Structure 1
Amino acid sequence: MARKNKHKGGGNPNRPRFWGKHAVAAALDNPDRRVLKAWTTREAANFMQFPPDVMVTMAEVTDLARLVPHDAPHQGVVIEVEPLEDLWLGDVLADAPEKATLLVLDQVTDPHNVGAILRSAAAFGAIGIVTQDRHSPPEGGALAKAASGALERVPWVRVVNLARALEEIAEAGFWRIGLAGEADTDLKDALGPQRVALVLGAEGPGMRSNTREHCDALAKLPISDAVESLNVSNAAAISLYAASVA
């Protein structure tokens, strides 16, 4: 995976920095996450349980502000971590229960959107999300903060070829539904099979044509004419809810 570009104020993709109490607490609770360093105010330290092998530096709020991007809501605690190990799609599919929902994101690159989608995936019990490695954000502070701990809980699989991944998903018994505003079918009518993969494209261009061709059905959310479309993270949340109650 491409993790070479430096990110000002947020560490770098090889050693990203997370901030905010929920994101940090979840990282500390995740046995698969290696936390390298921590900076915290004394007040925030009372809420965190840092492992003895983590180097903790007490700092003032103004010092923490220099460790994160401008105006980032660090809530008095910042940590430096190693990215989680890569996951294999086959392993996630093999562990899927009889009724399962999987999210597939086609070139959704905004870290706030992906973080919010991870949070919704955790809320509605999705078994994971799948993205293309070249067209998805790396693990980072903004994404982890938006995910509010879900980055540590929801399996995130990055693949080289999304079309091939969709074929593998179909072979595992998933009904692949692509969300498209111009579709004739409402999502509630496209749902039915117990295993569903919801496929969402980037805002604006939507799904690429090759991704559409690897969906079993296209469906839309029945929104009013008052708005042209929904933010992709909102669309994901609504779709996940619909799948969870179908």
Structure 2
Amino acid sequence: MQNRLIYGKNPVAEALVANHLIEVFAMTSNDKTAKELLHKIRMAKIPLQMVDRHILGNMAQTGQHQGFVAYAEPLQNASLNRICSDKPKGVRVLLLSNIQDPGNLGAVIRNCEHFGIDLLVIGSKGSCDWQLPSVSKASAGAVEHQKIVYTSRPEKVMEELKEKGFSIYGLEADVRDCVTSIKAGADANLCMVLGSEGEGISLAVESRVDQLLSIPRNGLVNSLNVSAASVVASMWLRGLI
């Protein structure tokens, strides 16, 4: 598997914390945060090349690099068995189906890491690549820390979850049962499934969901962006709503 390209201060900083950095390219800056990051990179003895903005833009293929581009180790799939072994009760899993937009995927990863979701499962069919630099940027570097399984067979993962005693719910617009009508038990092993606004949850995945739930609404628009929905899902999984 090839090394990843990442860009931006937060992605590079978090890759450094996670010991994923291989080589960094940066430009001289008077910004305090940039100076501190450069110092940490040098202290960690990560190979560092100082280049100009034009080179960074060509490498990142965007002007949103904030003065930092780097190569990092490829992300590795987490182990469901290990997670459940380390934490037999109260495991929280979020599963994504048909998430094509890198910005949305990165934002969901960031939300999951923020709320302490134990595992994020991403169905690769109909979804963007989780190793993309734009996903890392949108996640603010959270992809370096969040445990993720990226798989072409999310249905198989769901079957494994059920074998381990998980209850699996899915969020869908305009379903009668509301997410606030069910409380997430502290010791229960739970999984919540989200789909995209356009495609929704794939039929193969939806057929394995135990119960579909909706997010209550008072307005006219009948759906939320998947990033916003993932906040609700994560808060529900954590027993916060």
TM-score by length of 1: 0.86
Q: Which residue among 70, 94, 99 is the counterpart of 1:79?
A: 70
In the TM superposition, what are the counterparts of 1:1-246 in structure 2 within 5 Å?
14-31=2-19, 33=20, 35-43=21-29, 44-48=34-38, 49-50=40-41, 51-52=44-45, 54-71=46-63, 73-96=64-87, 98-136=89-127, 137-193=129-185, 194-244=188-238, 245-246=240-241
Offset of residue 97 of structure 1: 5.1
Shift of 1:45: 4.7
The answer on whether the counterparts of 1:129 and 1:155 sit within 8 Å (CA) in structure 2 is yes
Q: In structure 1, what residue type is equivalent to 2:14?
A: A
What percentage of aligned pairs have identical amino acids?
26
CA distance in 1, matches of 2:231, 2:211: 19
Find the aligned partners of 2:71 and 2:212 in 1 and give their Cα distance.
41
Letter in 1 for 2:205: T
CA distance in 1, matches of 2:182, 2:81: 25
Letter in 1 for 2:76: E
Tell me the residue number matched to 1:11. Answer: none
Q: Deviations over 1:57-77 (max 9, x none)?
A: 101223211211233x21111
Contact persistence 1:182–1:220 (CA under 8 A): yes
Any conservation in 1 of the 2:130–2:150 contact (CA below 8 Å)?
A: no
Number of residues of Structure 1 aligned to a counterpart in Structure 2: 230
> Structure 1 stretches (4+) deviating beyond 3 angstroms?
133-136, 190-193
* Alignment partners' CA distance in 2, 1:138 and 1:118: 10
For 1:134 and 1:95, locate their aligned partners in 2 and report how far apart those are by CA, in whole Å: 29
8 A Cα contact 1:18 1:78, kept in partner? yes
Unaligned runs of 5+ in 1: 4-13
Name the stretch that deviates more: 78-87 or 115-124.
78-87
Q: If the length of structure 2 is used for normalisation, what is the TM-score?
A: 0.87
Unpaired segments ≥5 residues, structure 2: none
Please give the alpha-carbon distance, in whole angstroms, between the structure 2 residues aligned to 1:111 and 1:128.
19
User: In 2, are the aligned partners of 1:200 and 1:232 still within 8 Å (CA)?
Assistant: yes
Distance in 2 (alpha carbons) for counterparts of 1:191 and 1:214? 21
